[in-house]
């Protein structure tokens, strides 16, 4: 079994799959094409990619980077991560710890709730993943498609919140270091009012994984809801037929471009795709019009690179700002000395010494900033090169494509 297979669950149906503490140890993990499975990742990881999973229950321990959910539906997740991103997902329930704002894109019917999962050694794994369990932004959701209407996400009603726990033989008792609002049975006096909150809030009842999940309420069951009015069915407004979103219109506008690219591929012509990094936005993904290369691979590459290059680019921008402040500060200092020279009677030798000292100080500071920028750029380029090498061997070489990247640019050549 290859090292990649050790960190991948793929193509399984109706199984329970477990990664025990110490079996991942900060590596990248992939979940792909799973159906009706129960998954436990009981260790800390660097990043987690979940693609094309349906009717699954998935528990993901602390993730130092991002957790990506793509093309998943009708599943339940318990996730602890630095940031979560969903795309093309429908009807998910996500019990979430996220140190950064959660992002959803082209996703519908997503329900968010605070993190609910306990397992042995999880507090140690939070430390290893550099996550602060007291800084949970699970409810600060950023919807990239909010202009298209409502119905993309909501908060889970408190009376539907359940706690999950996994015991492991020979290990300490399960632990969940993440605190919750009193609204969800916790002890933080920081009530969050969901848009469809229940009138009567009930404390959640701890449940075990070996018990069946709560039944899903359907519209036809309304006549049986007299004893649980707070869990009334809320209809989901899907896009109306005939409506064309901005993304769909963009795809339709590229039909002719796709035809031209297809002709070029038959002739062996290389198509070059370039993505530039924008501060605060990352590598902004757009439909490329490529017919022979999966868009989801390109999108996943750009999202992963966003996580890698962001801290380096932020540090470089901060150093650039420091450099500009040094220039402005020394200019103001020179101006003050010239004004002082006009109003005082210093000897020329004294003025020369002061000016030489100021110039030398300016040069030294600029050299220090330059060396610091060079070291940060070098470290960042090494990280990017490692990632590019892995992506080329994993995805791009099989598709007769080449990925190249720097801290500020991604270039993909496709034959």
- Name all domains of the chain by residue range, CATH numbers in brackets: 3-231 (2.160.20.70), 247-414 (no CATH)
**pLDDT above 80 (res 148):** no
Query: What's the sign of the alpha-carbon dihedral 333, 339, 342, 343?
Result: negative
The conformational region for residue 208 under phi > 0 = left, psi -120 to 50 = alpha, else beta, is: beta
State yes or no: pLDDT of 405 exceeds 80.
yes
CB 103 within 8 Å of CB 120: no
Cα–Cα distance list, 379 to 121, 311, 315, 411 (Å): 32, 11, 12, 20
The answer to pTM > 0.75 is no
Residue 58 has what pLDDT?
97
| Per-residue confidence (pLDDT) for residue 240, from 0 to 100 | 43
Q: What is the pLDDT of residue 303?
A: 84
- Which residue blocks in 254-404 are alpha helix, DSSP H? 255-266, 295-343, 348-391
Which tens digit of pLDDT belongs to each residue from 329-388?
Answer: 888 877 777 777 666 666 667 777 777 887 888 888 888 888 988 888 888 888 888 888
> Which pLDDT belongs to residue 286?
56
**Model confidence at 187: pLDDT above 80:** no
In sequence order, what are the beta bridge partners of 17? 39
Token pair 């997740």 is at which residue? Answer: 77
**Angstrom distance (rounded) from CA 32 to CA 47:** 14
Quick: pLDDT tens for 323-346. Answer: 888 888 888 877 777 777 666 666
């Amino acid at each position: 079994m290859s090292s990649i297979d050790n960190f991948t669950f793929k193509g399984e149906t109706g199984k329970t799959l477990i990664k025990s503490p110490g079996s991942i140890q900060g590596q990248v993990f992939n979940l792909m094409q799973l159906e009706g499975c129960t998954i436990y990742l009981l260790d800390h990881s660097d990043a987690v990619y979940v693609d094309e999973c349906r009717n699954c229950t998935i528990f993901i321990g602390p993730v130092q980077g991002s957790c990506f959910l793509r093309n998943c539906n009708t599943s339940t997740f318990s996730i602890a991560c630095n940031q979560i991103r969903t795309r093309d997902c429908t009807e998910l329930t996500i019990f979430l710890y996220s140190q950064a704002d959660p992002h959803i894109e082209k996703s519908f019917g997503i329900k968010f709730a605070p993190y609910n999962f306990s397992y042995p050694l999880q507090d140690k794994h939070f430390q290893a993943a550099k996550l602060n369990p007291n800084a949970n932004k699970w409810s600060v959701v950023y919807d990239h498609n909010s202009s298209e209407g409502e119905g993309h996400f909501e908060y889970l009603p408190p009376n539907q919140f359940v706690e999950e726990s996994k015991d492991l033989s020979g290990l300490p008792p399960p632990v969940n270091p993440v605190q919750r609002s009193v609204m969800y049975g916790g002890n933080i006096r920081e009530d969050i009012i969901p848009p469809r909150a229940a009138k009567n809030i009930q404390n959640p009842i701890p449940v075990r994984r070996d018990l069946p999940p709560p039944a899903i309420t359907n519209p036809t069951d309304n006549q049986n809801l007299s004893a649980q009015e707070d869990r009334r069915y809320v209809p989901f407004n899907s896009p109306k037929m005939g409506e064309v979103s901005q993304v769909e219109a963009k795809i339709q506008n590229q039909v002719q471009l796709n035809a031209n690219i297809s002709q070029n591929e038959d002739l062996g012509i290389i198509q070059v795709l370039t993505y530039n990094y924008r501060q605060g936005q990352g590598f902004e993904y757009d439909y490329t019009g490529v017919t022979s290369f999966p868009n989801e691979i390109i999108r996943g590459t750009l999202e992963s690179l966003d996580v890698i290059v962001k801290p380096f680019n932020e540090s470089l921008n901060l150093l650039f700002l420091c450099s500009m402040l040094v220039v402005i500060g020394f200019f103001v200092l020179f101006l003050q000395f010239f004004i002082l020279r006009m109003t005082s009677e210093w000897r020329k030798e004294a003025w020369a010494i002061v000016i030489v000292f100021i110039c030398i100080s300016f040069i030294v500071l600029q050299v220090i900033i330059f060396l610091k920028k060079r070291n940060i750029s070098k470290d960042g380029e090494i990280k990017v090169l490692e990632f590019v090498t892995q992506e080329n061997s994993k995805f791009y070489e099989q598709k007769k494509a080449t990925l190249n990247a720097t801290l500020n640019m991604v270039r993909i050549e496709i034959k």
